Each structure stands twice: as C-alpha cells, then as structure tokens.
Structure 1
Amino acid sequence: MKSAIAAIGILLASTIHIAAADLVDPDVPEPPASEERGIWAAIAYSDADAKHGFFWGADKRQEAMDEALAHCENAGGKTCSVVSVFRNHRHWDDDDNTGFPYNHCGALAVAKQRTGQSTPAAAISAPTRKDAEDAALQRCEASSAGECKIREWVCT
C-alpha cells in the first residue's frame, strides 16, 4: 500500500512539473514589437544648467531618446529630459499609429537669460529645418518673454 501511495505521489509530482514546464514553450517566438518606421532623432535639454544633447539616425524611438539623454548628461546636464522626438519617413507615407508625425527636423531654442533657477527653452520638430527653427524660437520667446537663440538643430 505504501508503495502504491508513493507511486501516485511521484506520478502527481511529475505531472505538476510537466504542466509547469509547459507554461513556457521555448519554441514559440515572442510576438514582435510594434514596428516603428523611419529614422528617429531626439533632443534632450537640462533647464537647470542649459546643457543639451541630441541624437539622430536611430532605428527605434527609444534608442534615439536614450542616446540624446546620454549626450546631455555627458555634457554636464543635471536635469536632462527628452524635449523632442521626431523621425523622417524616407519613403513611407503610412501611419504606424505611434503618434509621431513624419517630421524631418527638430530645433532647440534657448533663452539668452535665466529666469530664477532655470533657462527657458523650446524644442519643436517640423518638416524642414527652417520651420523647426522658426517654431522653436517663437515658442521659446513666448514662454520666456525674452530673446532666444537656436542652440541646436538636427535633421534625420
């Protein structure tokens, strides 16, 4: 009788083990990540010390953001954050539902004077460099009530 109970215990244990192992099938590929078409770029800015960083040419949005942040921090930025993310479309004209338009260029405008503990800035992306620079200057000057200048521009 004891051997029968032991055999049933071993059978149950091995069945549970097999069921648990079956929860993760190594032969089934993970679903692909949402495709992000285009060549991505990002601009990061630290308003505490007016440092910035940018990156262009990334295959993925997150890569562009990570690299822009790293460049800003390497420049000595203490409060770096991504202020603009954009991409070009090369030959794509469809919407991949990422929420990002196909803008080729971005610009960062920074106020010439600090206000309190920060240096106001604005970053905008647009289809052309001129459009991005003009829009960034307008937004920066409206928010800082002062003169701004283009600190960085990048086109993908």
Structure 2
Amino acid sequence: MRSKSVVAAIGVLLVSTAHLWAADLFTTEQPPAPPPDERGIWAAIAYSAPDEKYGFFWGADKRQEAMDIALKHCERDKGSNCVVVSIFRNHRHWDDDDKSGFPYNHCGALAVGKESSKRITPWGANSAPTRREAEGLALKACERTGSQCLVREWVCT
C-alpha cells in the first residue's frame, strides 16, 4: 500500500510541477509587440466599381484614418460598394522612416475606362513617388483590359 501512495504522491507532484511550469511559461511570455509608429502624411483612394463613385483623402496622421475618410467620401457620393484601392504616404520629415517597409509614395491616381458598358467599367489605381508616375501606373492597370482609360482623379500628399 505504501508504494502505491508514494507513486500517487509522485504523480501528483509531477502533475503539479508540470502545471506550475506551464503557468510560468504563460506568465513570462511577452505580449506581441505593438505595430510600429506610422510616420508620415497618409492618403487613400476608395472606389465603388459598380457605379464609378470614388473618394479620396490626404493629410491623415494614421493609415486607418486616411482609409476611413476616403471610404466615407466615396459613400457620401452614393458609392454602393466602396473599397480602399490605394494607400500611400509622404514623409513628414526626411528622416522619419519607421522601418515598416511601407513605401513613401507621395502621389496616387485613379483611372477609369472612357466608355462604360453593361458590365463593370475597367479601372486602375496606384501610387508612386510622383504624380506622373502614379497616373501612368493607374492608366496601365486600367488599360490591361484593352479599354482606353482616363485619369479620373489624382492626389499628392
């Protein structure tokens, strides 16, 4: 009998030790690091393809703020299916790189097909360091369908 109680006691001790060790693992584990600061001046373009409505916003301190306001502008213009199609930013200061890997593209553009049909009109949106580059990339994306496109709107932060 005595050996069974010793084995049982050892088993309880092992279980208790394992439980404490596991608890220690959880208590010493560091929470995930917060995202890096989002430095710069943010802008976003939202577009609703079914009805060709769009919204822009630039001058935000945070990426989410630019996205939210661009969506609101698109919806205010009666866009039925607004989505953010481009996000970009400019430097606030030349040495403010936040090491996030998110590029500092200062300008963005939205291009839309010249003629709409019963199907969705082709469109393209892109950002680049200059207005000319952003417009060129947006046009190229739109014209991949074989349609002729025009820049509908551009913005630089």
TM-score tier by shorter-chain length is 0.7 to 0.9
Equivalent in 128, 135, 142 of residue 137 of structure 2: 135
CA displacement 1:1-20 (0-9 Å, x = unmatched): xxxxxxxxxxxxxxxxxxxx
Runs of at least 5 residues in structure 1 that lack an aligned partner in the other structure: 1-30
Overall identity of the aligned pairs, in %: 66
Equivalent residue runs for 1:103-114 within 5 Å? 103-114=105-116
Among 118, 123, 129, the alignment partner of 2:120 is 118
Report the equivalent of 1:149: 150
- Largest Rg, 1 or 2: 2
Instruction: Give the Å deviation of 1:72.
Output: 0.3
TM-superposition CA deviations, 1:66-98 (whole Å, max 9, x none): 000000000010010000000001323464243
Match among 56, 63, 66 for residue 64 of structure 1: 66
C-alpha distance in 2 between matches for 1:115 and 1:91: 45
- 1:89 corresponds to which residue? 91
- CA RMSD, 1 decimal: 1.8
Q: Structure 1 135/62 Cα, relative in aligned 2: closer, same or farther at 3 Å?
A: same
**Residues 1:93 and 1:124: Cα distance change in structure 2 (over 3 Å):** farther
C-alpha separation between the residues in 2 aligned to 1:55 and 1:87?
11
2:13 counterpart residue number: none
Selected match of 2:75 from 73, 76, 95: 73
Contact 2:39 2:97 in 1 (8 A): no
Return the TM-score normalized by structure 1.
Answer: 0.74
SS of alignment partner, residue 56 of structure 1: strand
Q: Distance in 2 between matches of 1:72 and 1:40?
A: 17
Deviations 1:116-151 (A, max 9, x none): 431221111000001100111111101x21100001
Residue ranges of structure 2 left out of the alignment (5+ in a row): 1-32
Q: Is the 8 A contact 2:43 2:89 kept in 1?
A: yes
Equivalent residue, structure 2, for 1:4: none
CA distance in structure 1 between the aligned counterparts of 2:100 and 2:70, rounded to whole angstroms:
19
Q: Structure 1 segments of 4 or more deviating over 2 A?
A: 31-34, 90-99, 113-117
Work out which of the residue numbers 37, 42, 45 in structure 1 matches 2:47. 45
CA distance in 2, matches of 1:118, 1:93: 43
SS in structure 1 at match of 2:155: strand
